[in-house]
Structure 1
Amino acid sequence: MSQQDVQQAARASSPAGAYVAAAVIVLEACWLIAALPGAALVSDIGGMLVAAWATAACVGVARRHPAPLRRFWMLLAATMALAALGRALWTAQRLVGDDLPHTPLVGAIFTAGIFTGTAALLNSPSGPRTAVGRARTLLDGVIVALALVPISWVLVFRGVAAAELADPARTLGLLYPIFDLMQLTILVAVAGPVRPLWRPMGVLAASLTIRVVADAVYVSLVARGDYVAGHPIDLCWPLSYLLIGLATRNPPPPDCDRTDETAESPLPPWWRVALPYLPVGGAIVAVILARRPSGQIPQLIFLTMMALLAALAVRQGLAANENLRLVVRLRRLAYADQLTSLPNRLLFNRRLRLALRDGRPVAVLLLDLDGFKQVNDRFGHATGDTLLTGLAVRMRAAVGDDGTIARVGGDEFGVLVNGDRPVSPERLAERLLDALRPSDGEEDVGVHPSASIGIAEYGPQHTSHTDLLRDADIAMYAAKAAGKSAYRTCTPALRESAVSRAELIADLRRAVGEGQLHLEFQPIVDLATGAVRSAEALVRWRHPRLGVLSPARFLPLAEETGLIVPIDRWVIHEACRAAATWRDRAPEATVAVNISAAHLHRPDLIATVTAATSAAGLAPRALTLELTESALIDGTDAVLERLSQLRDLGIRIAIDDFGTGYSSLSYLHRIPATELKIDRSFVARLGSDDRAHATVEMVTRLAGAFDLAVVAEGVETERQHEAVTAIGCPRGQGYLYGRPDAAATVGQNRA
């Protein structure tokens, strides 16, 4: 049965029975208030009828609701059945002459109802999920009940004759309000603000509250000798039964099938933690007030306080046990990776420090999965997590007892090898690489990434565990540079190269601010006329110590470190200023600037470009942004929208190195390009490779069909010039027409 069906069935269940039960209470109220003859019998019969209806309602809803709720409703049904049975025996014994028949049998039946009602609360949807939790919650209610006994003695029981208190059944009847408060305490504990309140729990709370009031008033009247059967207070009991029956008309909670006991819950409020202890202070004061003039404490109060101390001791023992379990769990969470169950970085570093402190031979392997980001991008993080879990199992099996493997990062793992080292680190790396290779029948591309492994062995050059990890990291990047799916051991040469690289990155951070960058311009020639109408801006770095560095030397570092964005901004502004000076001799001259993929994904690209053209006084159509195919093909809808906005402003968009990426007709339809630059690898083979000739010719015709300008890159010989001209390519760029130079030749003709 679906959740919607259960809700409809709950709302439609036995409305006639509810109306009849309500009518019985209304009739009883009129009878008792009017003090008509037989009020006591009417009161007893009304209570029995409503309790019987509530029993049937609970049994009916137990059959309709999901399995996790059946025990809850059946326990409530048993509670109502015991209430009806107790009422029947009470009535029978009262009719034979006992005005207040607190007999052992009646007391046992009502007490059994208290047990089943308490069990129902503990098995409610919002109740504790573990046996320890149920025991702790039950003890909270018991502590409150025991603490209320001395308080009740001072407020009520002192007025009860000693002979009456000597009767156990009668004394038990006088303790019913305390039992009610125990149940109310348990209900507050299980249905407090820690979890969303299920509506029936609120109705049950109202029912219990009415019973607390009814039993408290009843005890007070009995203590003063003012109670007579058929008193208006008798209305409260059937009213509490009616509320329990009405609670069955609510649908089950949407998560009643939840079985996850490890789900994280909000922290309880302070008053929920203090709830069982709040009445204890009042109990201590009540004990002092209950002392007789002789200094003796009544036996009932003494025994109650002993029981209270025992309950508090057990409660604290459970709390201490729970705290120990929590400490164990927190330690496990602190030192274990939650996805793979491997040790995490914290535990890995701790064991590494301990191994170094013992002076044993130590080696570290750092393993980074190659291409794992593409798995997440293509298939989603859920698939990536599944892949990581499977690879972790493989790597754990490959390492075995020869080392400790840990997950130290997102797709980065570490292996600690210490002690006698029965297996060399290199052999262990080979085993790991073998374990990561896909087996027969498994997909190889995009689903099983390879790995790059760096190895570092502890030696005199290391002063701490961080030095050892740094060397392993250096070796790992060397393995990546060697083609991935490989391992490398850190050597002094690698370490020196890494230090030089770090120094170069530090110098690069200062290069823009200190004016060390400058631009050179390579002309783009109109092949029909030989006129230079455009130039590509190329950045160079005048390093104070190393001299002039080409882009290939420092731009990859800039992309890795994020420095490419400020460099791009500087290039755009400087290129626009230079192009503005060409306009006097060549009004139609344009300048081309390369844009990195990182800058393309930034939302402030448009603001950067418009600010640069505006500051230089350059028309937007005089600026061309060159982007590689790989940067464009990975572009999101937001990137394509950004390019469209630039195109609408008049900025020209060129696809650089065309033909080397993922060219397709749909790709050209999506990107608002104005120009294609044929990659130099095709131009270099013109005259010796018919396929290259066909490719250049095809791209030229394709560009014409899409109304795109074409530039042939890398023209270095007259033969190549003649070939691209014969094909019909309108413009060319290369060393034949001019090398990059600080002095722009825009507006001049090719010599």
Structure 2
Amino acid sequence: MPSAPWSTVQLAEFLEVFELLEMLDGVNMTRIAVDRVAAALDAEVVALLIDETVVRCLGFPADAVPVKLLRNAAEVRFSILQVPGIGEVHSVSAAVSTAGCTMVVLRAGNPFDKEEETLVRSMARALGLAMTATDRLTESRMLAERLAERQYLSDRLAQIQKSISHRAPLQEVMDSITQGAAELLSADVVGLRVVGLGEGADAIASLAGYPGEGLAHFRSIPLDQGFSGRAFTEGVLVSTMDFPADAAALGSAPEAFIEAVMAAPVHHDGHIVGVINVASREVGRIFTPPEEEILLRLADHASLAVTDAAAIHALRDSLEGERFKASHDALTALPNRTTVLEMIEYELDHTARGVPLSVLYIDVDRFKLLNDMYGHSFGDRVLIEVASRLRSAVREEDLVGRLAGDEFVVVAPGISAEDAEALAQRVTYQMTQPLVIDGRGTQLSVSVGVAESAAGLSSEELLGNADVAMYRAKTSGRDCVVCYDVQMRDEMFKRADLEQEISLGLKAGEFVPFFQPSMNLETGKVHSLEALVRWNHPTRGLLAPDAFLELAEETGLIVEIDKSVLDESCRQLAGWTRLNPDLTISVNLSVRHFAHPEIVDFVAETLAKYRLHGSRLWLEITESMVMANDAMTLEILRSLRSLGVRFMVDDFGTGYSSLVYLKRYPIGALKIDREFVDGLGSDLEDEAIVTAIIRLADALGHEVIAEGVETAAQQEWLVQSGCIYAQGFLFSKAVSADALEVLLSTAVTVENGFL
């Protein structure tokens, strides 16, 4: 069989390039094609020209292409040229396409024969067809990408429209819009704020691409401020690729690392009520007209959501009016106590005999403390979150209500107390999930009481039983579930009686300080005193703190008890100055004082009243108190320190032992808890911990006091380890002021001790 002509073989090999057309872009295809032409024709130079512009050239460095020479060669089919660096060459040219693209081939030596000329023309035509196909393929791909982008935009907008039509909460819709904008526009930060919806003074805001703590600041920024504020004041879309310069021109500080910004107004009822803005940190980023159109469409959807939310708000007001307000809680929109009792009564009357009805009584643990520490606005947002979590935790047929303050209820028809307990466990778990409000992490827990209906039981009685069980849950350590039994009611009455007795005891001055001395183990003399509260009960005698302190803390009565103890302790200390002018005293303070700056004035007035220098007063605080890391707590501590008052951390090492607060707060002394002191001389772990605390205190320049010293062996170990201050029964129990004065008047030392 005769072999194929040489030109046919070369053309076939050339056409192999285009078998992978879909895998090549135009640039790579022309590069490979030019290489193949040069190899087939043994040419020194192969070039492609489009309208006299050299778009591809093999044989010359990129910066030394003889453009004019190649143009001249392209204008004729054959020519002989002098090429710098090569010499005399023969050229042949052929049209690649009708769009003005020409191939030029230069070869030194032999001229091109007829077969080679035909091969060049064939290769040129094949390349032209391939380039046309590649252009169309590229256009198809670009069209497909644009269609995919449009489809994605359509899907995103449809999701937002669906959430609006399904009456999703406005906040949820706004979050969907900001997330969608971040994805559609490849933006680093997206913010959306609206005001004027009759839902309070604060703007409703959503922020994507920024840490959680930034939302509160973003919400507080006036809408007409900064570059994005122009969209609010001018009512048009605004855009910039040089945000730092534009922000500076407006007299506002630019956000760090933001380069490009655009913003569009949000409307309601013919007025501008908000702004959606997007920002990029990419240097040189320019928002294109299609991207601006996307932002305007998102702003339109935000406007629709705002209008719909306002309409729902108005409709609810018009339909429900005073009836809704009378039957629902204003803060959480949950049914109130009256409505809950009506619901329980209805279920009791209409439920078939033998079908159970259960009630869950829910109380937020330590809510009053949160409210006092961080303010009522913070507390309100906690209650709103509790209401939301309750709705998500219960069944569809259950009724969630708010009774008062931090007390909620779930009416659960058709389930027994056993099943209701499982429901309550689900509620407690839901409440312990992480919660962040305005950048502040808060750990919630609830105490839940469960009660089941019984024959002849009224709605008030059933709710009351659940309430009693809830109080048992709180006294059992909180964050737990307790089912009602009849014995609990007696305990609740006793608890209510105790609260009343504490209040009466405060008015009668029955709470008095006892004093336990701390000894200087080096000198053997009294170093300082700790004031410990006792209740001189008129019928039960002298009561220790464990009989009343927990309830006093829970009800807030501890604040007045602490003040009474502090005042009497300072009065006694002033009287003992004549016996020991250097004597100091420490008084325990509840965390509740650090939610109110008035404690500073009270301490200052007390010191002045008894003419005591502040350095003679120590206030004992707990690790959990300082770990709250609250600005108000820190400010109160600093204000008290300015009076000369000093602070010691009680029971150091048993709480949230982060050492950061030792630097942040004005601490002057650490007290080693008796739990560690007990093991001195017998437990290597306790000894290691106490050694570490002593060395830490010494390094920080703090005093260190060991509590609960009861044996001579413990005393000896402390002395050898460098702890020179200690208190405990080895030296003295807490005694009355009269007894202590007698002892201070005698030569009391470590050696002779007293009890």
Query: What is the TM-score normalised by the length of structure 1?
Result: 0.53
User: Which structure 1 segments of 5+ residues have no match?
Assistant: 12-64, 70-122, 128-194, 197-252, 268-321
- Secondary structure (helix, strand or coil) at the match of 2:701 reads coil
For residues 515 and 696 of structure 1, what CA distance do their matches in structure 2 show? 39
* Contact persistence 2:358–2:420 (CA under 8 A): no
User: CA, structure 1 residues 475+505, in 2 after alignment: closer, same or farther (shift >3 Å)?
Assistant: same
Residue type of the alignment partner of 1:481: T
For residues 611 and 317 of structure 2, what CA distance do their matches in structure 1 show? 71
* CA shift for structure 1 position 584: 1.5
* Contact persistence 1:679–1:714 (CA under 8 A): yes
| Equivalent residue in structure 2 for 1:734, among 728, 731, 739 | 728
For residues 419 and 495 of structure 2, what CA distance do their matches in structure 1 show? 29
User: CA, structure 1 residues 614+392, in 2 after alignment: closer, same or farther (shift >3 Å)?
Assistant: closer
- Larger RCO (CA under 8 A, 6+ residues apart): 1
* Contact persistence 2:367–2:379 (CA under 8 A): no
Q: Deviations along 1:65-105, whole A, 9 cap, x unmatched?
A: 98999xxxxxxxxxxxxxxxxxxxxxxxxxxxxxxxxxxxx
For residues 617 and 697 of structure 2, what CA distance do their matches in structure 1 show? 20
Residue type of the alignment partner of 1:632: V
For residues 386 and 351 of structure 1, what CA distance do their matches in structure 2 show? 22
2:684 corresponds in structure 1 to 690
Residue type of the alignment partner of 2:306: D
Q: Deviations along 1:236-262, whole A, 9 cap, x unmatched?
A: xxxxxxxxxxxxxxxxx9999364236
For residues 10 and 414 of structure 1, what CA distance do their matches in structure 2 show? 49
2:695 corresponds in structure 1 to 701
Matched, 1:125 2:171: no
1:631 corresponds in structure 2 to 625
* Contact persistence 1:521–1:537 (CA under 8 A): yes
Residue type of the alignment partner of 1:717: T
Matched, 1:456 2:451: yes
Bigger shift: residues 625-634 or 445-454: 445-454
Residue type of the alignment partner of 2:390: A
Structure that is richer in strand per residue:
2
* Contact persistence 1:365–1:425 (CA under 8 A): no
User: CA, structure 1 residues 720+502, in 2 after alignment: closer, same or farther (shift >3 Å)?
Assistant: same
User: CA, structure 1 residues 547+457, in 2 after alignment: closer, same or farther (shift >3 Å)?
Assistant: farther
User: CA, structure 1 residues 551+437, in 2 after alignment: closer, same or farther (shift >3 Å)?
Assistant: closer
2:306 corresponds in structure 1 to 260
- Secondary structure (helix, strand or coil) at the match of 1:512 reads helix
Residue type of the alignment partner of 2:389: L
1:558 corresponds in structure 2 to 552
User: CA, structure 1 residues 461+699, in 2 after alignment: closer, same or farther (shift >3 Å)?
Assistant: farther
* CA shift for structure 1 position 434: 4.1
User: CA, structure 1 residues 659+447, in 2 after alignment: closer, same or farther (shift >3 Å)?
Assistant: closer
For residues 716 and 678 of structure 2, what CA distance do their matches in structure 1 show? 13
Q: Deviations along 1:600-636, whole A, 9 cap, x unmatched?
A: 3321212212222222233322221111111222252
Residue type of the alignment partner of 1:261: T
Residue type of the alignment partner of 2:721: I
User: What's the RMSD between the two structures over aligned residues?
Assistant: 4.4
For residues 370 and 615 of structure 2, what CA distance do their matches in structure 1 show? 40
Q: Deviations along 1:340-359, whole A, 9 cap, x unmatched?
A: 77644442122224455679
Matched, 1:391 2:402: no
Residue type of the alignment partner of 2:661: Y
Matched, 1:678 2:672: yes
Bigger shift: residues 377-386 or 356-365: 377-386
Q: Deviations along 1:491-511, whole A, 9 cap, x unmatched?
A: 232111110111010011011
The correspondence of residues 282-321 of structure 1 with structure 2, limited to 5 A, is: none
Residue type of the alignment partner of 1:125: G
* CA shift for structure 1 position 518: 2.1
The correspondence of residues 307-706 of structure 1 with structure 2, limited to 5 A, is: 326-328=318-320, 331=323, 335=327, 343-355=335-347, 363-368=358-363, 388=386, 391-397=389-395, 400-401=396-397, 403-408=398-403, 412-417=407-412, 421=414, 423-434=415-426, 437=429, 451-457=446-452, 465-484=459-478, 486-706=480-700
Residue type of the alignment partner of 2:542: V
Residue type of the alignment partner of 1:577: R
Q: Deviations along 1:362-404, whole A, 9 cap, x unmatched?
A: 542213456889999999789958964663344333xx54x54
- Secondary structure (helix, strand or coil) at the match of 1:351 reads helix
- Secondary structure (helix, strand or coil) at the match of 1:502 reads helix
* CA shift for structure 1 position 470: 2.8
* Contact persistence 2:520–2:726 (CA under 8 A): yes
- Secondary structure (helix, strand or coil) at the match of 2:689 reads helix
For residues 9 and 483 of structure 1, what CA distance do their matches in structure 2 show? 57
* CA shift for structure 1 position 642: 2.3
User: CA, structure 1 residues 427+638, in 2 after alignment: closer, same or farther (shift >3 Å)?
Assistant: closer
* Contact persistence 1:433–1:485 (CA under 8 A): no
For residues 448 and 661 of structure 1, what CA distance do their matches in structure 2 show? 16
1:86 corresponds in structure 2 to none
* Contact persistence 2:670–2:702 (CA under 8 A): yes
* CA shift for structure 1 position 531: 0.4
* Contact persistence 1:340–1:388 (CA under 8 A): no
- Secondary structure (helix, strand or coil) at the match of 2:393 reads helix
- Secondary structure (helix, strand or coil) at the match of 2:597 reads coil
Residue type of the alignment partner of 1:643: L
For residues 466 and 232 of structure 2, what CA distance do their matches in structure 1 show? 61
For residues 685 and 374 of structure 1, what CA distance do their matches in structure 2 show? 35
User: CA, structure 1 residues 9+650, in 2 after alignment: closer, same or farther (shift >3 Å)?
Assistant: closer
1:749 corresponds in structure 2 to 749
- Secondary structure (helix, strand or coil) at the match of 2:528 reads strand
User: CA, structure 1 residues 373+6, in 2 after alignment: closer, same or farther (shift >3 Å)?
Assistant: closer
Residue type of the alignment partner of 1:543: H
- Secondary structure (helix, strand or coil) at the match of 2:500 reads helix
* Contact persistence 1:368–1:451 (CA under 8 A): yes
* Contact persistence 2:327–2:335 (CA under 8 A): yes
* Contact persistence 1:375–1:384 (CA under 8 A): no
* Contact persistence 1:535–1:746 (CA under 8 A): no
User: Which structure 2 segments of 5+ residues have no match?
Assistant: 1-226, 238-262, 275-298
For residues 701 and 627 of structure 1, what CA distance do their matches in structure 2 show? 21
- Secondary structure (helix, strand or coil) at the match of 2:508 reads coil
Q: Deviations along 1:17-57, whole A, 9 cap, x unmatched?
A: xxxxxxxxxxxxxxxxxxxxxxxxxxxxxxxxxxxxxxxxx
Q: Deviations along 1:296-330, whole A, 9 cap, x unmatched?
A: xxxxxxxxxxxxxxxxxxxxxxxxxx999823466
* CA shift for structure 1 position 645: 2.6
2:291 corresponds in structure 1 to none
User: CA, structure 1 residues 740+325, in 2 after alignment: closer, same or farther (shift >3 Å)?
Assistant: closer
* CA shift for structure 1 position 486: 3.9
User: CA, structure 1 residues 656+352, in 2 after alignment: closer, same or farther (shift >3 Å)?
Assistant: same
* Contact persistence 1:568–1:599 (CA under 8 A): no
* Contact persistence 1:682–1:692 (CA under 8 A): yes
Residue type of the alignment partner of 2:664: R
User: CA, structure 1 residues 643+583, in 2 after alignment: closer, same or farther (shift >3 Å)?
Assistant: same
For residues 484 and 236 of structure 2, what CA distance do their matches in structure 1 show? 71
Residue type of the alignment partner of 1:396: V
Identity across matched positions, percent: 35
* Contact persistence 2:358–2:416 (CA under 8 A): no
User: CA, structure 1 residues 612+644, in 2 after alignment: closer, same or farther (shift >3 Å)?
Assistant: same
* CA shift for structure 1 position 644: 2.1
* Contact persistence 2:417–2:483 (CA under 8 A): no
1:171 corresponds in structure 2 to none
2:288 corresponds in structure 1 to none
Query: What is the TM-score normalised by the length of structure 2?
Result: 0.53
